[in-house]
């Protein structure tokens, strides 16, 4: 009986139990790699630090500072400023993010990264949700194959059940219907952090970040768990955030980054992506949204 229940629950999330084999080494014997690439492939001990919010970046290339036009951060801050009640807060955030999505056109990963679509045609064949960083150990094909399953599980946790196991169907349904679920998650976090504060030590719920270093300066961005929490903490006016550092990425190592070594990105493209984060310089597809934000603020002055 117990086994049947477990199998039923696993089937709901298209999951299976496998032996955990993280200790198995990565076999690089058939390739030639510079040792500086190993730094981005080998597991390292993680450290907990306090990071300045204003030095952070969102995964959409915007700054996390007070004047940020990041669509999610800006929408939450504007809604909180209007002192919306619970139901109105949800509706207000949802409406603004929907406005943002109407103002942008994104067809592929070249668009998302703001790269020349004629220089790397491979990126033109992948959807936005398959994005990976040049310095990640995860390949673009691994992301393409596995990300839909993780999306299905994550959405189910937040009350949105996707019944299909087809990756394309999962992502299509997620893109069309998941925004209210995301907003609910933001509002739930806002209420929780307002009431209890941001105390990741209690449940070991630290946001995971990677540090980007260039010319002895650095910024940081979420790297895994914690995108929603990062945005909410910033929107509530926190000056620092306790974080779990998972990786330190050096600009000078660009040619050794795994997804440069394997040919997914050219070195100059990888450097462009790094600099977009470092300079908080979002791609041009955001221009109409940024103009809208500026006009909204100007109209209130």
Residues 272-293: tens digit of each pLDDT:
999 999 999 999 999 999 999 9
How many CB atoms within 10 Å of residue 159?
Answer: 10
**Residue 29 domain-assigned?**
no
Distances (CA, A) of 252 to 67, 187, 215, 219, 246: 30, 40, 9, 15, 19
Model's pTM, two decimal places? Answer: 0.83
**Residue 11 domain-assigned?**
no
Whether residue 29 has pLDDT greater than 60: no
**Residue 79 domain-assigned?**
yes
Six-digit token string for 110? 């070249």
Kindly report, residue by residue over 117-150, the tens digit of the pLDDT.
888 888 999 989 899 999 999 999 999 988 898 8
Alpha carbons 189 and 134: distance in angstroms, whole number: 31
With a CB cutoff of 8 Å and minimum separation 6, the contacts of 40 are 135, 136, 137, 247, 249, 253, 256, 257, 258
Six-digit token string for 83? 């002192």
**Residue 56 domain-assigned?**
yes
DSSP 26: P
Mean pLDDT of 214-234: 91
**Residue 188 domain-assigned?**
yes
Residues 80 and 233 sit within 8 Å (Cβ to Cβ): no
* Confidence label for 228 from pLDDT (cuts 50, 70 and 90): very high
**Residue 193 domain-assigned?**
yes
Strand-pair partners of 241: 51
Six-digit token string for 196? 């209890």
Mean pLDDT of 81-86: 74
Kindly report, residue by residue over 45-59, the tens digit of the pLDDT.
678 889 999 999 999
Structural domain total, the chain: 1
pLDDT at 26: 65
Residues 72 and 235 sit within 8 Å (Cβ to Cβ): no
CATH number for the domain harbouring residue 213: 3.90.1530.10
**Residue 16 domain-assigned?**
no
**Residue 26 domain-assigned?**
no
Residue 194's domain comprises: 34-106+178-299
pLDDT at 1: 53
């Amino acid at each position: 009986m117990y086994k049947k229940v477990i199998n039923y629950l696993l089937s709901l999330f298209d999951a299976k139990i496998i032996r955990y084999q993280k200790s198995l080494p990565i076999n690089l014997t058939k390739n030639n790699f510079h040792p500086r690439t190993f730094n981005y492939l080998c597991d390292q001990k993680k450290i907990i630090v306090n990071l300045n919010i204003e030095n952070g970046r969102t995964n959409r290339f915007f700054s996390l500072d007070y004047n940020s036009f990041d669509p999610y951060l800006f929408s939450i801050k504007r809604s909180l400023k209007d002192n919306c009640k619970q139901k109105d807060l949800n509706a207000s955030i949802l409406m603004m993010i929907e406005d943002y999505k109407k103002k942008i056109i994104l067809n592929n990963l070249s668009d998302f990264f703001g790269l020349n679509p004629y220089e790397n045609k491979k990126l033109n064949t992948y959807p936005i949700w398959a994005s990976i960083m040049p310095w990640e150990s995860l390949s673009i094909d691994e992301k393409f194959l596995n990300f839909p399953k993780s999306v299905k599980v994550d959405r189910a946790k937040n009350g949105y059940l996707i019944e299909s196991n087809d990756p394309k169907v999962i992502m299509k349904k997620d893109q069309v219907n998941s925004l209210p679920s995301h907003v609910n998650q933001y509002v739930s976090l806002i209420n929780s952090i307002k009431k209890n504060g941001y105390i990741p030590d209690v449940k070991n719920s630290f946001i995971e970040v990677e540090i980007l270093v260039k010319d002895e300066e650095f910024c940081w961005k979420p790297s895994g768990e914690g995108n929603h929490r990062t945005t909410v903490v910033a929107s509530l006016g926190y000056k620092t955030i306790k974080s779990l550092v998972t990786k330190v990425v050096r600009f000078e190592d660009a040619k050794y980054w795994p997804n440069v070594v394997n040919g997914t990105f050219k070195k100059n493209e990888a450097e462009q992506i790094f600099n977009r984060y470092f300079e908080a310089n979002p791609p041009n597809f955001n221009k109409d949204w940024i103009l809208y934000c500026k006009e909204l603020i100007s109209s209130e002055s």
